[in-house]
Structure 1
Amino acid sequence: MEPTKLHAGDSVTWAREARAYPSADGWALSFSLRGPGSLDVVSTDGEPYQFRMTSSQTRTLPPGAYHWACYAVREDDRQTLGSGRLEVLVDLQQAETFDGRSHARRMLDLIEAALEKRIPKDQQSYEIDGMKLDRIPVERLEALRTRYRREVAAESRRGKSPFGRFTRVRM
């Protein structure tokens, strides 16, 4: 089964069944990943087909949301076997700086700063919902704050984090 998340710089392996497209008949499988970056991987022969993305391959992928597709290919024939989404997470060993807050948390923090009239000068050009932050009426900021508070609360309930889910261990 194809991965749904990976950290840039990690190696990833997985297998995919494709009994209708046996390698003995000349079929091969390929995996294409497109988003802020791109990567194409060809499987090794055999059933199930094996895929491997190396550390050096994933290291070059910018963090973000990607779409993938898996194809069975033989000469001039191609069949799409599946598609989906994959999230590439930041490689902390390569990142000089990192803001681990979600979009909703960053927006909530900016809105609250605007309501408290303490937005840093380098952030006065931010836009939210197509409006410049320093020109949004207070009533609209309060409505946006309510919306983003809900999003942040929903993320907290889901355990959303830029690193994926955490499992807490008590010792």
Structure 2
Amino acid sequence: MAGSIPSEIAAGITFGVSLSYPEYAAPEWGLTLILRGPQAITLDAVRNGDEFTFSASAETTAAWAPGTYWWQTRAVDTFETVLLEDGQTKVLQDLSAVEGAFDGRSHAVKVLEAVEAVIEGRASIDQQSYSINNRSLTRTPMADLLKLRAVYRAQVQAEKASKNGGRLGRVMRVRFS
């Protein structure tokens, strides 16, 4: 199969992907992409030989609701429907439609920054709990905050690796002579 359904689709941007299924190349086969999530989206492919191309204009994708979608590609002929592939994708918000402030950070990045701010603020506070006028405050133990930070650091690193095609950092080439 040439091409693949991307893991992220930007609303408000032209969408296009070509897939190749030689075993379904007979003239009677058509291909359908079904997306289900915050809304129902169905695209029929345009065929060129063994290749099927799904496309949607920027105007069309601008109307797609952001969120997580589950998708299937199906080959369809007069008598048969065959599931070819399935997966999950995310439709990203159309930034041109956003008015005012926007925070595009992921949940993991937001939580990591909040936990690190708490750790930083706690660096100079030595009491874990105290009471005043029958009211008490107990702080989360530093060890728990450090564990939580490690969890969210790993999630943020995984997000970065995913966006970099699985690579976690820079590629360094080394030659031994």
- TM over 0.5: same fold? yes
Q: Which among 49, 52, 56 is matched to residue 53 of structure 1?
A: 56
Write the letter of the residue equivalent to 1:6.
I
Look up the match of 1:41. Answer: 43
Alpha-carbon distance in 1 for matches of 2:46, 2:153? 47
Answer whether contact 1:22 1:46 (CA < 8 A) is retained: no
How many residue pairs get aligned? The number is 143
Look up the match of 1:78. Answer: 81
Write the letter of the residue equivalent to 1:80.
L
Q: Which among 10, 20, 23 is matched to residue 17 of structure 1?
A: 20
Q: Cα gap change, 1:149/1:14 in structure 2, threshold over 3 Å: closer, same or farther?
A: closer
Q: Cα gap change, 1:155/1:85 in structure 2, threshold over 3 Å: closer, same or farther?
A: closer
Q: Aligned Cα RMSD in Å?
A: 2.9
Look up the match of 1:122. Answer: none
Q: Which among 107, 111, 115 is matched to residue 111 of structure 1?
A: 115
Alpha-carbon distance in 1 for matches of 2:68, 2:13? 16
**Residues 60-71 of structure 1 aligned to structure 2 (within 5 Å):** 60-71=63-74
Larger Rg: 2
**Identity value in percent:** 30
TM (norm. structure 2) is: 0.65
Q: Which among 79, 85, 89 is matched to residue 92 of structure 2?
A: 89
Q: Cα gap change, 1:43/1:155 in structure 2, threshold over 3 Å: closer, same or farther?
A: closer
Alpha-carbon distance in 2 for matches of 1:77, 1:147? 47
Q: Cα gap change, 1:108/1:2 in structure 2, threshold over 3 Å: closer, same or farther?
A: same
Alpha-carbon distance in 2 for matches of 1:146, 1:7? 30
| CA-CA distance at 1:41 after TM superposition | 0.3
TM (norm. structure 1) is: 0.67
Write the letter of the residue equivalent to 2:69.
Y
Q: Which among 139, 142, 151 is matched to residue 147 of structure 1?
A: 151
Q: Which among 4, 7, 10 is matched to residue 7 of structure 1?
A: 10
Look up the match of 1:102. Answer: 106
Post-superposition Cα deviations, 1:100-136, rounded to whole Å, max 9, x if no partner, equal: 222221112222344538xxxxxxxxxxxxxxxx977
Q: Cα gap change, 1:149/1:22 in structure 2, threshold over 3 Å: closer, same or farther?
A: closer
